[in-house]
DNA sequence: TTTAGCACTCTACAACAAGGAGTGCTAAAT
DNA sequence: ATTTAGCACTCCTTGTTGTAGAGTGCTAAA
């Protein structure tokens, strides 16, 4: 950002951005002069605006409309101008209450978090759960559910539970299933899930094991149990985008919804965002989700007790209330980290 | 339905409905005469249409537009006129393949089912999972995840797995957790989840148990484990409603999305639909989800091995391709029942 | 009972005019 | 050297009018 601006230009730019965020209408010179009680005439403001336009910070939809901020302007605003609103005691309370009351497992907490983000920000809430495969193995257990059906339950030290129904060729008694469980628990103790998976594959090559019918079956089943892609994603408050006038035309909304139906995009997002600490802000075309749709994304990562990383965030129009959403996202991410690490 | 119609009127009504389903445009008298190679002049068709309008089966948006079917007409069409299209071998294959490959637990299968319904019908797919509380208890297990954290895992004989993280006041060793598990497994053997819940409450009143520190803790924890509302609902293919011209205006879409964000509505739907067997069809204002939005709903229930009931369905505009969607829903419901009962 | 003919209604679309908002430029004022 | 008032200009918005087309309803003939 090689933007060099006089204090007055900054002030005017800020006024325009905030006006536009509030109204979604192009803002004209007289509106700025009036609303901000600047001791300047519209004409002066116009000159400044003209400069800002040349610098690529403003555009006008047509000759005789006011001007609207460009992506570059939002970027500058967020980097240099913004006065973050403090998160209120009330909001804090609400976040804590809702995330806690979710009770249940990790998934339930994260889903409620996503809803909370949505309702506090009035945009869409997004949570991408941490990848299970990086978690540390805690426990595996097999239950017989019928002649050829075995339920494998896999627990990580985070408390994330995976279960999978496996069809077996032959009948296995519950006693044998317990033995298999003991064997595997021994085998995978202390490994991450992905390492555990490797260990299983190695073990399957072992000659001793190959001759032990029970053990080789155990490996077979558990291999299926660890082989999955578990990508939990919670997008909540989708209907809120209808509140935004810029999305009232179907076309852009469709883009957004399409994007969410492809999980891949969101996972890619996760991997991109999880390296950096703190609140990340993606504006317009910077946004990995749906570049064309004119949305911005504010995210922050959270960390579980096993040091795996997840992502929370808010998605709204580029014209979003950054100053209030950023603190909310920030606070929520920290809270979720704390909740998930709580003793 | 006290509709008495001549064969010719029926034929014309059917033609109009099918035309309108295909085009979403009001259909005029000459279009009917032409497209259906009826040996009738537009004028004659007009007379018939005029009658149909009087009977409340057609309306016209304005004087000089064609006519469109009313809800009553769709109802009559579905009840008496419709020629169901046979489900193709290809569709069958696709349904089977996708539902099977989902692997994993019940949830995964049902989610994939919902997606499959959506992509075959080109409308939205809906699956409401059977209520867990009616399932038969199979197994409970406790795992220590840290000083004061216990993970309770509850398995029903369907293979549905519930897990819940419980904070305990004092530390409990894994050994004790195993004992607690044994005790509770004994206690709840063969009961449904909801009965198991009652049993726990009864047991907590028992004096003998109250003096056994371990057992009373076990009850305390397991009470939390069975106390939840687990309503899994999968709505997939939401972006498809953008393809329907009648929803291009934001207002009606918003209604639909709002409805889906309130789970209550869908659960109410479940309870209403699950009593009846076979395919259920709800047209327009009959639809429990969002009466105002002009949507129709085609559902059928499925049954799990423990005789609990779930719901699959397709949601589209009232102007939906009933003749092809009905067989798809019918077949899929049967398949899912079979899959979930499979030995 | 069916059909041709015709007047009638209503929409959709385009062309046009008036009003308004906001700009850019120029020249005067500070 | 800035700031500001004045003013012409642009372009959107809204409303009006006119026309073409689609489709109906009615009447009278087949």
Q: Which pair of structure tokens corresponds to residue A265?
A: 């995009």
- A104 pLDDT higher than 70: no
The pTM of this model reads 0.88
| Other Cβ atoms closer than 10 A to A249 | 12
B106 and B126 in contact (C-beta within 8 Å)? Answer: no
pLDDT in tens, A251-282: 788 888 888 888 778 878 877 877 889 999 99
Q: Residue B326: name the closest of B284, B278, B286 by CA.
A: B278
Strand segments (E) across chain B: 58-59, 68-69, 124-128, 137-146, 149-156, 161-167, 233-236, 280-282, 295-303, 309-317
pLDDT at A311: 93
Q: Which nucleotides of D are covered by protein (CB under 7 A)?
A: 3-6, 9-12, 21-27
Give the integer Cα–Cα distance in Å for B218 and A163.
Answer: 23
Min Cα distance B172 → chain A (Å) is 14
Facing residue for B239 by CB, picked from A139, A146, A261: A261
User: Is the CA virtual torsion B336, B337, B338, B339 positive or negative?
Assistant: positive
In the three-class reduction of DSSP (H, G, I as helix; E, B as strand; rest coil), residue A58 is classed as strand
pLDDT at B4: 76
Min Cα distance B343 → chain A (Å) is 7
**Helix-then-strand count for chain A, H and E:** 13, 10
Q: Which residue of B has its CA nearest to A166?
A: B104
For chain B, give the mean pLDDT: 89
pLDDT at A178: 92
Give the integer Cα–Cα distance in Å for A170 and A150.
Answer: 11
Which residues on B lie below 8 Å from A224 (Cβ)? 103
Residue with the larger pLDDT of the pair A340 and A104: A340
Which residues on A lie below 8 Å from B242 (Cβ)? 250, 253-254, 257
Mean local confidence (pLDDT), A64-85? 96
Q: Is the CB of A22 under 7 A from strand D?
A: no
Cβ pair A153:B151 closer than 8 A: no
Q: Which long-range contacts (CB under 8 A, 24 or more apart) does A336-341 make?
A: A336/A99, A336/A109, A336/A110, A336/A113, A336/A302, A336/A310, A336/A312, A337/A302, A337/A303, A337/A304, A339/A99, A339/A100, A339/A109, A340/A106, A340/A109, A340/A158, A340/A302, A340/A303, A340/A304, A340/A305, A341/A303, A341/A304, A341/A305
Q: How many CA within 13 A on the CB side of residue A249?
A: 5
Considering only CA atoms, give the Rg of chain B: 26
Residue with the larger pLDDT of the pair A249 and A315: A315
Strand partners, A310: A302
pLDDT in tens, B324-337: 999 999 999 999 99
pLDDT in tens, B77-127: 999 999 999 999 999 999 999 988 876 678 888 999 999 999 999 999 999
Among B118-122, B129-133, B165-169, the range of highest mean pLDDT: B118-122
A343 and B147 in contact (C-beta within 8 Å)? Answer: yes
Give the integer Cα–Cα distance in Å for A291 and A269.
Answer: 12
- A70 pLDDT higher than 60: yes
B299 and B117 in contact (C-beta within 8 Å)? Answer: no
pLDDT in tens, A184-196: 999 999 999 989 9
pLDDT at A229: 65
pLDDT at B148: 85
pLDDT in tens, A149-176: 888 999 988 888 888 888 888 889 999 9
pLDDT at B139: 93
Q: Residue A48: name the closest of A18, A11, A22 by CA.
A: A11
Please measure the distance between the N-terminal and C-terminal CA atoms of chain A and give it in whole angstroms.
43
pLDDT band of A132, cuts 50, 70, 90: confident
Cβ pair A141:B146 closer than 8 A: no
Residue with the larger pLDDT of the pair A263 and A59: A59
pLDDT at B297: 95
Mean local confidence (pLDDT), A298-314? 89
pLDDT at B104: 66
Give the integer Cα–Cα distance in Å for B273 and A96.
Answer: 37
User: In the complex, which nucleotide's C1' lies nearest to the CA atom of residue A42?
Assistant: D4
pLDDT band of A3, cuts 50, 70, 90: low
Which residues on B lie below 8 Å from A165 (Cβ)? 103-106, 159
Facing residue for B165 by CB, picked from A104, A164, A239: A104
A164 and A225 in contact (C-beta within 8 Å)? Answer: yes
B220 and B164 in contact (C-beta within 8 Å)? Answer: no
Q: What is the DSSP secondary-structure string of B195-220? A: HHHHHHHHHHH-HHHHH-HHHHHHHH
pLDDT at A89: 97
Mean local confidence (pLDDT), B177-183? 92
Q: Is the CB of A68 under 7 A from strand D?
A: no
pLDDT at A113: 96
């Amino acid at each position: 950002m090689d933007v060099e601006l006089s204090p007055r230009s900054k002030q005017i730019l800020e006024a325009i951005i905030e006006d536009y965020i509030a109204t979604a209408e192009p803002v004209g010179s007289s509106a700025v002069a009036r609303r901000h009680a600047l001791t300047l005439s519209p004409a002066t403001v116009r000159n400044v605006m003209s400069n800002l336009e040349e610098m690529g910070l403003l555009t006008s939809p047509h000759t005789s409309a006011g001007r609207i901020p460009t992506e570059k302007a939002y970027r500058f605003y967020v980097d240099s101008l913004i006065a973050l609103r403090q998160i209120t005691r009330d909001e804090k309370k609400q976040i804590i209450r809702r995330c806690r009351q979710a009770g249940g497992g990790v998934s339930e907490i994260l889903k409620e978090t996503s809803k909370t983000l949505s309702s506090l920000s009035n945009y869409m809430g997004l949570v991408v759960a941490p990848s299970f495969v990086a978690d540390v193995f805690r426990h595996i257990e097999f239950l017989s559910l019928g002649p050829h059906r075995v339920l494998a339950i896999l627990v990580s030290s985070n408390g994330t539970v995976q279960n999978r129904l496996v069809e077996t060729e032959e009948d296995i008694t519950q006693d044998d299933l317990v033995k298999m469980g003991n064997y595997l628990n021994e085998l995978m103790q202390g490994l991450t899930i992905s390492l555990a998976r490797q260990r299983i594959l190695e073990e399957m090559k072992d000659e001793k094991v190959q001759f032990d019918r029970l053990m080789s079956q155990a490996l077979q089943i558990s291999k299926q149990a660890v082989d999955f892609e578990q990508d939990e994603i919670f997008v909540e408050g989708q209907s809120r985008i209808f509140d935004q006038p810029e999305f009232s035309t179907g076309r852009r909304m469709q883009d957004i919804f399409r994007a969410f139906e492809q999980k891949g995009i969101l996972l890619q997002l996760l991997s991109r965002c999880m390296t950096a600490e703190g609140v990340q802000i993606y504006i317009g075309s910077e946004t990995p989700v749906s570049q064309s749709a004119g949305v911005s994304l504010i995210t922050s990562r959270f960390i579980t007790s096993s040091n795996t990383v997840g992502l929370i965030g808010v998605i709204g129009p580029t014209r979003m209330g950054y100053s209030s959403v950023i603190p909310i996202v920030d606070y929520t991410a920290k809270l979720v980290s704390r909740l998930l690490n709580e003793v």
